[in-house]
């Protein structure tokens, strides 16, 4: 019975998507949707959408898998909590959580994921990395205080995340300057190294990240409009670049200050000699013109380009760089 309901729900979803004019999605072909990633090192897209629910996707969120364990979560937008579970990721195995910026579609499920940790056996601290603030945005530390401060926090009942009390895993909060022009070390352990640099995202303090693991490089643009050459340099030769694809080529100046146009995406991927380009943070306004956007990107970058869907896994190909 349940199976049949799910099947009908799925069929109705596809029908509705077609009627809604999301024909562009059909050119994505069959999606490799799976729980977890089997490759020794891989990136999984938990949320491939943007801030509007009409793209039928979770908002931003990504996992780095190493030997079958989810070790790093980057961003936690709405819906990522659900996808985290669907991916069979476990709170216990996370070595760190890194947030690109504090727009709601990148961070609203952070509290939900931390709450789930209450039910885990985790005792070791959990590094949480994010940008410094500005007058308009809190920094990572102030954001965590707003959530978990024992007296004023919205979820003060989980204040143990700030001080380690109540058996909760203490959050080791690290702020990286959003104005950093050169790559900063954000986190490192025996398994991987995470570096970060400030990127331009309108007035929003924002970071781009690169993960180096076993000779591979996974890059995450976060949201950026107008490229920081130091981000391009930091991700040089990346095996995978997960890039925000949120606007059409004819985007107005406000949108283009927040997100790269397709031509800028293509130029960035080419300049950084990226091996594979994964388009994420997809929005209806970019998906509706996906063939056109892909063609524009291909005028500059001729490597493999994939428009991501939720739960897709990407593994590096070819030899690791020496
Ligand atoms: Zn944003």
pLDDT at 320: 87
pLDDT at 21: 35
Q: What tens digit of pLDDT does each residue of 264-283 get?
A: 999 999 999 999 999 999 99
Q: Which long-range contacts (CB under 8 A, 24 or more apart) does 21-24 make?
A: 21/288, 22/56, 22/284, 22/287, 22/288, 24/287, 24/288, 24/289, 24/290, 24/291
Reply yes or no on whether the pLDDT at 43 is more than 80: yes
CA–CA gap between residue 267 and residue 275 (Å, rounded): 13
Rg of the chain (C-alpha set): 19
* Centre of ligand 1 from the C-alpha of residue 150, in Å: 29
* Centre of ligand 1 from the C-alpha of residue 313, in Å: 23
* Centre of ligand 1 from the C-alpha of residue 71, in Å: 24
CA–CA gap between residue 78 and residue 57 (Å, rounded): 9
* Centre of ligand 1 from the C-alpha of residue 309, in Å: 19
pLDDT band at 34 (very low <50, low <70, confident <90, very high): low
Residues, CB within 5 angstroms of ligand 1 (ion): 103, 223
CA–CA gap between residue 140 and residue 138 (Å, rounded): 7
pLDDT band at 181 (very low <50, low <70, confident <90, very high): confident
DSSP secondary structure code for residue 302 in this structure = -
Q: What tens digit of pLDDT does each residue of 116-171 get?
A: 999 999 989 999 999 999 999 999 999 999 999 999 999 999 999 999 999 999 99
CA atoms within 13 A on the CB side of 186: 34
CA–CA gap between residue 75 and residue 61 (Å, rounded): 5
Q: Delineate the domains of the chain, giving CATH numbers in brackets.
A: 23-314 (3.60.15.10)
On average, the pLDDT of the chain sits at 90
Q: Which residue has the higher pLDDT, 16 or 296?
A: 296
Q: What tens digit of pLDDT does each residue of 15-31 get?
A: 333 333 333 343 343 44
CA–CA gap between residue 47 and residue 259 (Å, rounded): 17
Q: Which residue has the higher pLDDT, 33 or 71?
A: 71
DSSP string, 180-219: --S-EEEEE-SS-EEEEEEE-BTBS-EEEEEEEETTEEEE
* Centre of ligand 1 from the C-alpha of residue 106, in Å: 7
pLDDT at 157: 97
Q: How many Cβ atoms from other residues are within 10 Å of residue 122's Cβ?
A: 17
Provide the sign of the torsion angle of the four alpha carbons 266, 76, 314, 308, taken in this order.
Answer: negative
* Centre of ligand 1 from the C-alpha of residue 280, in Å: 12
* Centre of ligand 1 from the C-alpha of residue 282, in Å: 12
Q: What tens digit of pLDDT does each residue of 73-123 get?
A: 999 999 999 999 999 999 999 999 999 999 999 999 999 999 999 999 998
The arithmetic mean of pLDDT across residues 281-287, rounded, is 95
Q: Which residue has the higher pLDDT, 36 or 284?
A: 284
* Centre of ligand 1 from the C-alpha of residue 135, in Å: 16
* Centre of ligand 1 from the C-alpha of residue 281, in Å: 9
């Amino acid at each position: 019975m349940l199976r049949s309901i799910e099947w009908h729900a799925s069929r109705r979803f596809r029908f509705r998507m077609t009627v809604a004019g999301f024909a562009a999605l059909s050119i994505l072909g069959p999606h490799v949707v799976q729980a977890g990633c089997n490759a020794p090192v891989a990136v999984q897209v938990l949320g491939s959408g943007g801030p509007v629910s009409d793209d039928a996707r979770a908002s931003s969120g990504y996992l780095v898998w190493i030997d079958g364990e989810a070790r790093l979560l980057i961003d936690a937008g709405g819906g990522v909590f659900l996808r985290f579970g669907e991916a069979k990721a476990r709170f216990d195995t996370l070595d760190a959580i890194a947030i690109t910026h504090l727009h709601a579609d990148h961070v609203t499920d952070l509290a939900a994921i931390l709450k789930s940790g209450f039910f885990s056996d985790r005792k070791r601290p959990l590094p949480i990395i994010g940008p410094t603030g500005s007058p308009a945005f809190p920094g990572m530390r102030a954001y965590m205080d707003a959530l978990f401060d024992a007296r004023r926090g919205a979820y003060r009942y989980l204040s143990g995340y700030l001080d380690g009390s109540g058996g909760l895993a203490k959050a080791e909060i690290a702020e990286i300057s959003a104005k950093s022009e050169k790559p900063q070390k954000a986190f490192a352990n025996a398994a991987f190294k995470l570096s970060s640099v400030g990127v331009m995202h309108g007035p929003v303090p924002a970071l781009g990240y690169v993960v180096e693991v076993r000779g591979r490089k996974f890059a995450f643009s976060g949201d950026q409009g107008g490229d920081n050459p130091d981000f391009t340099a930091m991700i040089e030769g990346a095996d995978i670049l997960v890039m925000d694809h949120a606007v059409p080529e004819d985007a107005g100046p406000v949108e283009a200050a927040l997100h790269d146009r397709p031509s800028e995406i293509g130029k960035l991927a080419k300049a950084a000699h990226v091996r594979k380009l994964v388009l994420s943070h997809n929005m209806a306004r970019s998906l509706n013109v996906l063939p056109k956007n892909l063609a524009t990107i291909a005028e500059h970058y001729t490597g493999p380009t994939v428009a991501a869907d939720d739960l897709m896994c990407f593994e590096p190909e070819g030899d690791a760089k020496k």
